[in-house]
Structure 1
Amino acid sequence: MADDKVIIGKIGAPHGVRGDVRVIPLTDFPDRFHQLKTVYTDDGAKLTVESARFHKQFVLVKFRGIDTMNDAELLRGKLIKVRREDAVVLPEGHYYFFDIIGLSVYTETGEHLGEITDILQTGSNDVYVAERKNEKPLLIPALKEVVLQIDIPGKKMIVKLQEEWDDHED
């Protein structure tokens, strides 16, 4: 990934006249805004967080050096990001979508099946979409009996395909 940062919100309208902005949280962990010290905008600017508080569905954020409504207006529409290493640590066996997308998929025997290009959220379990050359995409249910191993540093996933499953009931 060229950008080592994770999107956590989108800046909306200014709030008040002292430079506060409304941020729409784009994270499963909105409480993280209370601990934020530094964020980055999608154009690479580094901003220091002075304060953050919740207001309705928004987080009101005050950035150092953004002291007027006009200053705040210049930030409208920008995505805010944190460094990958500052992302919330997930429990073992849980992964961010951006960690899964781009993984190479292999069978247990080492056959390359394709690359994960998308994740479908079905309600019961996620489904990984693996693009294959000259074939329709492979849909892989994100279940323990199907996805045997996820190796983020090695950028690969090992799966047991449905037709290889045993015919036993659990």
Structure 2
Amino acid sequence: MIQQFLDTGEIVSVHGIRGEVKINPWSDTPDFLCDFKRFYLDKNGTNSIEAERVRVHKNVVIAKIKGIDTVEDAAKLRGKTLYINRDDCKLDEGDFFVQDLIGMQVQDADTGEIYGTICDVSQTGANDVYHIRAEGKADKFIPAIKQVVLRTDLQANLMMIRPLEGLFDEN
């Protein structure tokens, strides 16, 4: 099921004395969060905060939230999960939110065999790796490359793949 509000990071601590917060980003790069001025503190989008400034510092994101001007106020946000509205961002063609892939059925494009559903995604640096789980079977792993992943249909909740030779060999 496609969610409108996506969890994208966690406020892990305060930064400095002027009410800034450090955010641990849950995205491919911390820079992704710099494009947003509005974040939400719940998955329903009913409690929003506005960022006055957002910048990357090392591997975290530093944000100054409107109305949060002291260390004490910023400390109250520690541990909060931040959500974004999917309508506020644009992904490149072929890019997907991990949350949209989890639970997606994976099917062989040639034989029609159902391999299972995506249960996790690992980032290896070169490409992502999709973890496929089927009841009673060991998890399978496929590289998220165009030679393997032929089509991803969010509406049908279906990924069509053509495994590389030997990828799923049991021996």
Deviation at 1:157, TM superposition (A): 0.7
- Deviation readout 1:53-92 (Å, 9 max, x if unpaired): 44455433222222322111100122222112223412x2
Q: How many residues align?
A: 164
- Whichever of the two has the greater Rg, that structure is 1
Counterparts in 2 of 1:122-141, with a 5 A limit? 122-141=124-143
Map of 2:99 onto structure 1? 98
Aligned partner of 1:15: which letter?
A: H
When normalised by structure 1's length, the TM-score is 0.76
Q: Give the aligned partner of residue 88 of structure 2.
A: 86
Change (3 A) 1:122 1:52: closer
Structure 1, unmatched stretches of 5+, are 166-170
Per the alignment, residue 7 of structure 1 pairs with 7
For 1:28, what is the secondary structure of its paired residue? coil
Equivalent residue of 1:134, what SS?
A: coil
**Larger deviation: 144-153 or 8-17?**
8-17
Q: Conserved in 2, the CA contact under 8 Å of 1:6 and 1:87? A: no
Per the alignment, do residues 67 and 126 of structure 1 end up closer, same or farther by CA in structure 2, a change over 3 Å counting? closer
Amino acid aligned to 1:36: F
The Cα shift of 1:39 comes to: 0.3
Identity over the aligned pairs, expressed in percent? 38
Query: Whole-Å Cα distance in 2 between the matches of residues 60 and 53 of structure 1?
Result: 5
Cα deviation, residue 107, structure 1: 1.8
State how far apart, in whole Å, the 1-side matches of 2:157 and 2:139 are: 19
Ranges in structure 2 where 5+ consecutive residues have no aligned partner: none
Shift of the 122–66 alpha-carbon distance from structure 1 to 2, 3 Å rule, reads closer
Q: Deviations over 1:76-135 (max 9, x none)?
A: 122222112223412x22333223221101122433221111123445443322111222
Q: SS of the counterpart of 2:136?
A: coil
